[in-house]
Amino acid sequence: MWSISTIFSVLTASYFLISWKNIPFAWHFRFYKSLGYYLYVHKNKLEVEADPFRTSTVQYRSPAAECDLNGHKSNSTYFSDLDIARTDLMVDVFRKMLLDTKAKEGKWPYIPLGAVASIFRREIKPYALYNIKSRILGWDEKWLFVISRFESPSGKLHALSVTKYVFKLGRKTIAPKDALDQCGLWSPEIEKRGQEGRKKVQGFLDLDALEDEPF
């Protein structure tokens, strides 16, 4: 017969196994694992295919620790998943620019987050399998826009997010067009498609006007 301590240890181990995404520093491990993998291990398909609009897909389940009182994945946890999904995409697309700039300038460029807007359509049940599909939607002179979809394996939409990024080297801003060109991914045809995508997020950009909204 098992002792109380043995039962407790088994239960604790089981919890960590089924809720590994939520243990301390799990987010950091996931983030730096993606960063290192796409910088140094993964063969960059985009450099070969010359397609900056390729879809990147990651797959997860939502452990019990991510669920709220309503019994489904908490809205706040979508954003931690997005951090990893978008890192996979952005480092894969801009790997050459990141590595070449580090070699030339002696310091890493970085791609900070500017804003995120999300729409929630269907709940994600505990331990349900879901995919996060992300791709570049478009850009303007400063911002690059990424669209991400949370989908069930059958393709039903759970949530939709739009993110804007800016490229920085120290205090210098790098235009998305220049970042793509450095990766060999820019052409007039690509630029046209990028500007078409930018028009689709005009409402998202209009949110900036709320900074001056009086309270």
Which range, of 33-42, 66-75, 153-162, 194-203, averages the lowest pLDDT?
33-42
Instruction: Tell me if 214 is assigned to some domain.
Output: no
Q: Give the pLDDT confidence score for residue 33 in this predicted structure.
A: 80
Q: Is the pLDDT confidence value at 1 over 70?
A: no
Mean pLDDT of the residues in the chain: 87
Q: Is the pLDDT confidence value at 185 over 90?
A: yes
Question: Strand runs (DSSP E) across 77-203, as ranges?
Answer: 113-120, 129-139, 143-151, 157-169, 172-174
Q: What is the mean pLDDT of residues 44-66?
A: 79
Q: Residue 73: give its domain's CATH number.
A: 3.10.129.10
Instruction: Tell me if 170 is assigned to some domain.
Output: yes
Q: Give per-residue burial for 132-153: e unless 16+ CB within 10 Å, then b.
A: bbbbbbbbbeebbbbbbbbbee
Q: Give the pLDDT confidence score for residue 45 in this predicted structure.
A: 52
Q: Give the pLDDT confidence score for residue 151 in this predicted structure.
A: 97
Computed over its alpha carbons, how large is the radius of gyration of the chain?
20
Instruction: Tell me if 37 is assigned to some domain.
Output: yes
Contact call for residues 191 and 175 (beta carbons, < 8 A): no
Instruction: Tell me if 76 is assigned to some domain.
Output: yes
Instruction: Tell me if 211 is assigned to some domain.
Output: no
Q: What is the mean pLDDT of residues 73-81?
A: 92
Instruction: Tell me if 173 is assigned to some domain.
Output: yes
Domain encompassing residue 177 = 4-206
Instruction: Tell me if 215 is assigned to some domain.
Output: no
- For residue 75, the tally of other CB atoms under 10 A from its CB is 12
Which range, of 9-18, 54-63, 176-185, 203-212, averages the lowest pLDDT?
9-18
Total domains in the chain come to 1
Instruction: Tell me if 123 is assigned to some domain.
Output: yes
